[in-house]
Every structure is written in structure tokens, then in C-alpha cells.
Amino acid sequence: MSRSYQVTKDILSDCKNMGNNILIVAHASSLEACTRQLQGRSPQTSKDFIQVVRKIPYLGFCSCEEQGDTGVWQLVDPPILPLTHGPNHSFNWKETLLQE
């Protein structure tokens, strides 16, 4: 279990009875590290992880939603459009974070 995944699980556990939305702000690698295992997927190899992270621009974000009370999480369309500026390439979370 990755450290990021454990922190994500701890945050979810601590906030379970406090409301429906949690915002985690972190570095680009956290998009992959905090959501991959939450979805039941295996952690990436270091090489594959680096390739994914290189595709995440400044201000890149994703949204993950629990499917009912099943404990199963899934990436969903974020509630706002992606933010971009100057040299950033466009970011599509589906193309970057759902790759195997």
C-alpha cells in the first residue's frame, strides 16, 4: 500500500461523518498516487508512474466519487473545467489517469 493511498484512506475515514465533499490539494503526482489504489487498481511501477506524472500540467485536477455505500471509488468528470495557462498543455484526466 502506498503512503499516499494510506493518507487518502485516513482523510476519508476522518471526514466520513463531516459531509460529502473533500478537497485535497497537492502536487501533480498525488492525482495518480491518491486515486489509483482507491479505485482498486494496483500501484504503477516507478517507470510508469513517472510517465503519467509528466503528463499532468500545473493546475491539473481530477474528481473521484464513491459509488453508493459500496466503498468502490471511480474517477468522474470534475465539477469545473480544467484550468490552463501559457505553456501548459491541455489536460484530460481520462487519457492520463485511466491508462493501464
Question: Could you report the per-residue pLDDT of 70-91, keeping only the tens digit for each?
Answer: 888 999 998 887 776 666 667 7
Tell me which residue of 28, 18, 37 sits closest to 75, measured CA to CA. Answer: 37
Q: Is the pLDDT score of 32 beyond 70?
A: yes
Residues in Cβ contact with 92 at an 8 Å cutoff, skipping those fewer than 6 apart: 82
CA 94 – CA 63 distance, rounded (Å): 11
Q: Is the pLDDT score of 6 beyond 60?
A: yes
Class for domain 3-97, per CATH? alpha beta
How many Cβ atoms are within 10 Å of 31's Cβ, its own excluded? 25
The x, y and z cell numbers of residue 59, run together, are: 493546475
